[in-house]
């Protein structure tokens, strides 16, 4: 059976959103946002803060296993950190070789490492050596820094280092998040390695899902922004495996369930963040939801200029009641 994973998204999909999205259904697992490994030794509380699921058997409340993602460029440091992380028994350790952020890349981390396949191999091997066999070590890569000249070398290096599976985000670093995603390159990686390859990039709909799998030849996918934009996407994809029919994206039918998720999100964001930051978090989610939900678009415009939590709550409740 094919697998669907929820992508790591720093600043967007934290434990709260992972909880809501995996509860909506369809996911076989998730990866948490990256934890940066630099000069200092990370205490266990850092792992727990980014991945609070570690305190609940490493699973979201609805039972999806969560892998913890590390980002760094020093094999020894990565190995030491992975060994500390392993004591908390994560379901997997994923290594980030795709982040395009200048603050990360300046220190040689994330996607910049794709210029150095030998270093990729040493990082994966150091992590693999440092953690018990039972914990899978996986890697998430882009196609390269500027072009695809070394894509296959990088994939081979990750495999040789001991990665149990590769997630391929089908763009180079310089392409950022601009469409298209080059799904045909995921297929080339799949043919070049023996480990499972998980396809990622620009899957927003059942149609994209079908085309991505056909072009890449991969059974398994990872959903990023598409999962946040349509919380029921994975569930629809999963159901289709049963009856061969994806079912329509029906905003009116989805809205009652979605507005309950939004209200819960808002309550929990408010309880956790400084009040002035809570509206911003909600707007971040609405900004993606409004691609497919006119109700979310209306709500987004109502609260866009709003920083008062009372007014945001009133708009949210009115939108939920509108059904």
CB of 21 to ligand FMN, least distance (A): 13
What DSSP assignment string belongs to 216-244? H--S-EEESHHHHH-TTHHHHHHHHHHHS
One character per residue 141-180, x = contact with ligand FMN (rule: CB under 6 A): ----------------------------x-------x---
Q: 117-130 and 151-161 are packed helices; what angle lies between their axes, rounded to 10 degrees? A: 20
Comparison of 75 and 110: residue with beta carbon closer to ligand FMN: 110
212 included as an active-site residue:
no
Interface characters, 64-93, with ligand FMN (x: CB under 6 A) = -----x------------------------
Name the residue whose CB lies closest to ligand FMN: 224
Q: Does 95 contact ligand FMN by CB under 6 A?
A: no
Under rule CB under 6 A, how many of the chain's residues touch ligand FMN?
23
Binder among 65, 98, 161, 231 for ligand FMN (CB under 6 A): 98
Residue 100 sits in the site that holds ligand FMN (CB under 6 A): no
Q: Cα angle at 22 between 172 and 186, to 5 degrees?
A: 25
d(CA 285, CA 33) in angstroms, rounded, equals 16
Nearest distance from C-beta of residue 244 to ligand FMN, angstroms: 24
Contact by Cβ (8 Å): 125, 144: no
Q: How many CA atoms lie within 13 A of 67 on its CB side?
A: 26
Q: How many Å is the Cα radius of gyration of the chain?
A: 20
Give least dist CB 103 to ligand FMN, A.
13
- Residue of 10, 19, 220, 230 interacting with ligand FMN (CB under 6 A): 10
C-beta neighbour count of 267 within 10 angstroms: 13
Mark the segment that binds ligand FMN (CB under 6 A) among 1-9, 15-23, 118-126, 256-264.
Answer: 1-9
**Identity of the residue, 263 or 284, whose beta carbon is nearer to ligand FMN in the bound complex:** 284
Choice between 178 and 323, CB closer to ligand FMN: 178
| Sign of the alpha-carbon dihedral angle for 323, 289, 93, 79 | negative
* 224 burial via Cβ count (<10 Å: 0-12, 13-18, 19+): buried
Q: How many residues does the chain have?
A: 323
Identified binder of ligand FMN from the candidate list 151, 200, 216, 259, rule CB under 6 A: 200
141, β-bridge pairs? 97, 168
Buried b (16+ CB within 10 A) or exposed e, 157-167: bbbebbbbbbb
What are the phi and psi torsion angles at 104 (to 5°)? -80, -45
Active-site residue (options: 51, 99, 154, 218): 99
223 or 262: CB nearest ligand FMN = 223
* Residues taking part in catalysis: 99
Q: Where does this chain bind ligand FMN (CB under 6 A)?
A: 7-12, 33-34, 69, 96, 98-99, 140, 169, 177, 200-203, 223-226
């Amino acid at each position: 059976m094919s697998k669907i994973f929820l992508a790591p998204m720093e600043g967007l999909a934290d434990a709260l959103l992972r909880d809501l999205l995996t509860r909506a259904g369809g996911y076989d697992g998730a990866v948490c946002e990256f934890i940066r490994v630099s000069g200092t030794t990370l205490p266990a509380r850092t792992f727990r803060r980014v991945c609070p699921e570690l305190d609940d058997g490493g699973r979201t409340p609805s039972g999806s296993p969560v892998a913890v993602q590390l980002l760094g460029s020093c094999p020894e440091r990565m190995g030491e950190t992975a060994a500390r992380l392993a004591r908390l028994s994560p379901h997997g350790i994923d290594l980030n070789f795709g982040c395009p952020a200048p603050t990360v890349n300046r220190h040689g981390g994330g996607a910049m490492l794709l210029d150095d396949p030998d270093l990729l191999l040493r990082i994966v091997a150091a992590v693999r050596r440092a953690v018990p066999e039972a914990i899978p070590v996986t890697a998430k890569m882009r196609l390269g820094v500027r072009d695809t000249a070394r894509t296959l070398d990088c994939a081979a290096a990750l495999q040789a280092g001991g990665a149990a599976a590769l997630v391929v985000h089908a763009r180079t670093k310089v392409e950022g998040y601009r469409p298209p995603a080059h799904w045909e390159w995921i297929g080339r990686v799949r043919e070049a390695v023996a480990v499972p390859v998980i396809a990622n990039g620009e899957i927003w709909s059942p149609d994209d899902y079908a085309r991505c799998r056909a072009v890449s030849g991969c059974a398994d996918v990872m959903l990023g922004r598409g999962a946040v934009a349509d919380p029921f996407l994975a569930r629809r994809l999963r159901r289709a495996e049963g009856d061969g029919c994806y079912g329509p994206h029906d905003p009116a039918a989805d809205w009652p369930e979605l507005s309950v998720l939004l209200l819960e999100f808002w309550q929990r964001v408010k309880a956790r963040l400084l009040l002035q930051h809570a509206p911003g978090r909600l707007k971040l989610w609405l900004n993606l939801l409004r691609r497919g939900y006119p109700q979310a678009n209306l709500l987004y415009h109502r609260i866009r200029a709003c920083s008062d939590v009372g007014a945001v709550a009133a708009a949210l409740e009115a939108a939920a009641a509108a059904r």
